[in-house]
């Protein structure tokens, strides 16, 4: 085979190796299937919204009162309590709770203003915490966060005071809704 035939033969091999030229009829585009998300890309669906109610009884563990220049008083209180749920299957049932709060008592007799937080550890060792704010004869509260089964918990509720004794012990009625992630 001469050089010329060898070049033509090499050119044909090259053309065959790279496929048809652009002059060839274009292929119809095949529809692509959506790529399945990997396990890491799939987000778990949140659990359904749950609802519960019950009581919580607190005993004060520390109280500190400071008088302000204007005659008002700041009362800082630490309390410990046990949550009793109406439904014993509620994850908060028999959980231990520690709360801290501050109350401002006005020298002019205005209604007191109170707010604070509580941290709770359940019987499985998982924790959650809330903020609370007094309103009328009770309070409103909302979840901040949690650990374990309560990680990223969302929800809120309210309480009503059932009894408050002169020594600071008290029992509240609570109700709320929450969603575990």
- The predicted pLDDT at position 38 comes to 58
- The predicted pLDDT at position 153 comes to 96
- The predicted pLDDT at position 28 comes to 55
Q: What is the pLDDT of residues 2-25, one digit of tens each?
A: 444 443 333 433 333 334 444 445
When pLDDT is averaged across residues 27-38 and rounded to a whole number, the result is 57
* pLDDT confidence tier of residue 64, bands split at 50, 70 and 90: very high
Q: With H, G, I as helix, E, B as strand and everything else as coil, classify residue 15.
A: helix
- The predicted pLDDT at position 18 comes to 36
Q: What is the pLDDT of residues 65-113, one digit of tens each?
A: 999 999 999 999 999 999 999 999 999 999 999 999 999 999 987 878 9
Q: Which class is 50-179 in CATH?
A: mainly beta
- The predicted pLDDT at position 17 comes to 38
When pLDDT is averaged across residues 50-76 and rounded to a whole number, the result is 96
Rounded CA-CA distance 11/5 in Å is 10
Angstrom distances, CA of residue 104 to CA of 20, 52, 67, 76, 159: 85, 31, 10, 9, 20
Q: What are the backbone angles phi and psi of residue 15, rounded to the nearest 5°?
A: -60, -40
- The predicted pLDDT at position 37 comes to 56
Domain ranges of the chain: 50-179
- The predicted pLDDT at position 110 comes to 81
How many H helices and E strands in the chain?
Answer: 1, 8
- Which of 26 and 152 is assigned the larger pLDDT? 152
* pLDDT confidence tier of residue 42, bands split at 50, 70 and 90: low
Q: Which of 178, 176, 114, 173 is nearest to 146 (CA)?
A: 178
| Dihedral sign (CA 17, 20, 22, 28) | negative
Q: What is the pLDDT of residues 108-164, one digit of tens each?
A: 878 789 999 999 999 999 999 999 999 888 899 999 999 999 999 999 999 999 999
- The predicted pLDDT at position 167 comes to 93
State the Cα angle at 102 between 132 and 97, rounded to 5°: 50
- The predicted pLDDT at position 1 comes to 47
């Amino acid at each position: 085979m001469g050089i010329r035939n060898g070049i033509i033969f090499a050119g044909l091999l090259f053309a065959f190796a790279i496929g048809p030229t652009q002059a060839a009829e274009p292929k119809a585009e095949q529809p692509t299937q959506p790529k399945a998300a990997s396990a890491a890309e799939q987000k778990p669906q949140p659990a359904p919204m749950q609802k519960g109610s019950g009581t919580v009884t607190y005993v004060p563990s520390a109280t500190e009162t400071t008088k302000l220049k204007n005659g008002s008083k700041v009362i800082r209180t630490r309390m410990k309590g046990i949550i009793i749920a109406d439904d014993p299957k509620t994850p908060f049932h028999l959980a231990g709770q520690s709360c801290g709060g501050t109350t401002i008592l006005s020298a002019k007799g205005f209604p007191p203003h109170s707010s604070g937080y509580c941290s709770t550890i359940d019987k499985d060792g998982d924790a959650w915490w809330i903020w609370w704010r007094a309103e009328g004869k009770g309070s409103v509260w909302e979840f901040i966060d949690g650990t374990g089964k309560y990680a990223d918990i969302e929800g809120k509720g309210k309480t009503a005071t059932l009894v408050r004794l002169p020594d600071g012990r008290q029992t509240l009625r609570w109700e709320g809704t929450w969603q575990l992630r």
